[in-house]
Amino acid sequence: MRPQPVGEYELKAAYLYNFALLSEWPEGALPAPDAPLALCVLGRNPFGPSLAALEVKTVHGRRLEARQVPTAAAARRCHLLFIAAPELARASEIVAALGDAPVLTVADSGAAERTPAVITLGMHGSRVAFSVDLGAAKRARLRLSSRLLRLAAGVAGAEEAR
Amino acid sequence: MNGTARTSLRGRMLLLSLLSAGVALVLALAGLGAREYLASRGDLEERLAVLARIIAENGAPALAFADERAAADVLATLRSAPHVTEARLFGRDGEVFAQYRGAHAGSALGSVTARREVRLGSDRLGELVIVADLHELEARLAGYAVVALLTLVAALAASALIHAAMRGRVAHAEEALAELNRTLEEKVRSRTAELERAVSELEAFSYSVSHDLRAPARAMAGFAGILREDHGAALPPEALRALKRIEDSATHMGRLTDDLLEFSRTGRTPLTLAPVDMRALAASVAQELAGPEASPVRIGRVPPARGDAALLRQVWRNLIGNALKFSREARPPVIEIGGERRGAAVEYFVRDNGAGFDMKYAGKLFGVFERLHSPEEYEGTGVGLAIVQRIVQRHGGRVSAEGAPGQGATFRFTLPA
């Protein structure tokens, strides 16, 4: 394994961007082409300046906009919601509050345990890894690229999604 | 052409035809081979480019998530493309992120390389390089070479067979031609001898016929004359007329047989060649035929010739006699005689201002018994000019005539000088 030359959250910020690239939102869920795609963080922002650095990039033809949201209700207008580690205890609550809103939820979990989010970020040894919950993705009406699934350390909810 | 020369010529021809066929075929096959190589190589490059695009697309997330194992897995799918010898996925920093090595070790024809940027969204993540060898192309070219070689051998064999078949027919034709040449001369010789024999038999026959007819013709004319003289008073005028016709016919028949004998003799007696003073000869004949006084015959320059004097006298006699006969109606008749040298020959002419003839009958003038006028107009047997032609031809000369009705005629003959 190569040593990680970048910090953990710098890497995770890049991952968020990749997740957005390899996910498809339902028809009409994306903003107008000139409006930004909202990349939200619920809880304390662990990324530092790495998140704002993503704003120069584009996803599905739209630029990114990093936001900090205080509540799950406010997160319904987000396209991607990062649930920071300190908020994990409330994860079920947050996901339930989002309902069928097309929000790609990504939970930051230090240990590789499962969360109710669509994607769970964790560490695999010294490496950042992620697992995917297809049931949660289906509920949020999101489609994840098979290329993303192939890289996932675990895929759950396949039966439910079928 | 002797045997060995012909054989070596044939050998060279065979070699030449095989060589030209072979060169043409080799060029054509080489051209097709080059085209096959270029097309196959282009095809391979295109397929490799498609492969690179697919692998780059599949490998992009692995690079994005820095998943080396996944990247290696993606590259490992190249196992299904056995011509790929090597593939490398470079990260953004230019370092090799993952690589793959195929089973093959490269080919003599070299390799083709495809490069492809690896992108995800707007991010350039790195580069993919795929190298493929040309084993497949090598195998294809080898197969092509075998087919080309077989084609070449088959074509040359066919060419040699055709050549051999043709050569057999040509040789056959050549032999037939040589055989024909050999027999042709023999045939000509034997036919000529046969012909000469036939002609001399015919002449002997006509001579003996003429000779044997002469005595009865004389007898008829003689006895008819006696009958008329001794008993003419006792005969009615009708009988006298018939008697006159018998006498005339017998006399004419006698002349005919005489002339035929003469004609026959001119063809049979051997020539006695000597220099002849043609002017003196012509003058003597003219005096003999026209008399010494008031002769219409004008003799100009007449060069000498070489020939048989007796026969040439006969020529003058017949030509001058004819001229006198056909110009007797002219007022006054004029007959000119002359000659001049033309190269190795001398040409003589006898010109009159008499009845002349139509040029369309010029070809018939010299035939035996050919007459352009009736015996009532001008007496004669029609043998005189035939005798002239025969004598002149026996001397190696030619006769000709020109004229027009009522404007006289000119007869020409040539003799060696």
Pairing of strands B123-133, B111-120: antiparallel
What is the per-residue pLDDT for A158? 74
Q: Which chain A residues are closer than 8 Å to B57 by Cβ? A: 147
What is the per-residue pLDDT for B381? 78
How far off is chain A from B94, nearest CA to CA, in Å? Answer: 15
Report the alpha-carbon distance of residue B328 to residue B354 in Å, rounded.
7
Report whether pLDDT(B204) > 80: yes
Mean pLDDT of B187-211: 88
Grouping H, G, I as helix, E, B as strand and the rest as coil, residue B313 is helix
Report the alpha-carbon distance of residue B416 to residue B401 in Å, rounded.
19
Cβ–Cβ below 8 Å for B122 and A11: no
One-letter amino acid of B96? V
What is the per-residue pLDDT for B18? 83
Report the alpha-carbon distance of residue B265 to residue B206 in Å, rounded.
10
Cβ–Cβ below 8 Å for A14 and B64: yes
Mean pLDDT of B283-311: 88
What is the per-residue pLDDT for A2? 42
What is the per-residue pLDDT for A115? 85
For residues A78 and A16, the answer to whether their CB atoms sit within 8 Å is no
How far off is chain A from B97, nearest CA to CA, in Å? Answer: 10
* DSSP per residue, B116-162: EEEEETTEEEEEEEEEEESHHHHHHHHHHHHHHHHHHHHHHHHHHHH
How far off is chain A from B120, nearest CA to CA, in Å? Answer: 7
What is the per-residue pLDDT for A74? 84
How far off is chain A from B115, nearest CA to CA, in Å? Answer: 21
Interface size A-B, in CB pairs within 8 Å, comes to: 40
**What tens digit of pLDDT does each residue of B155-194 get?**
888 888 888 888 888 888 888 888 898 899 889 999 999 9
- CB proximity A145 to B under 8 Å: yes
Out of B61, B66, B122, closest to residue A147 by CB: B61
Mean pLDDT of A68-90: 88
Q: Which chain A residues are closer than 8 Å to B68 by Cβ? A: 1-2
Report whether pLDDT(B201) > 80: yes
Of the pLDDT bands very low, low, confident and very high (cuts 50, 70, 90), residue A4 is very low
What is the per-residue pLDDT for B281? 93
**For testing contact with chain B, the best of A18, A57, A126, A155 (most B CBs within 10 A):** A18
Higher pLDDT, B368 or B299: B299
Q: Which chain A residues are closer than 8 Å to B65 by Cβ? A: 15, 18, 128, 130, 151
* DSSP per residue, B19-50: HHHHHHHHHHHHHHHHHHHHHHHHHHHHHHHH
**What tens digit of pLDDT does each residue of B47-100 get?**
999 999 999 988 898 888 888 888 998 999 888 888 888 999 998 888 999 989
**What tens digit of pLDDT does each residue of B220-268 get?**
889 999 988 999 888 899 999 999 889 888 888 888 888 888 888 887 7
**What tens digit of pLDDT does each residue of A38-59 get?**
999 998 888 888 888 888 888 8
What ipTM was estimated for this complex?
0.79
Mean pLDDT of B193-210: 87
Helices of type H across B232-344? 237-268, 278-290, 309-326
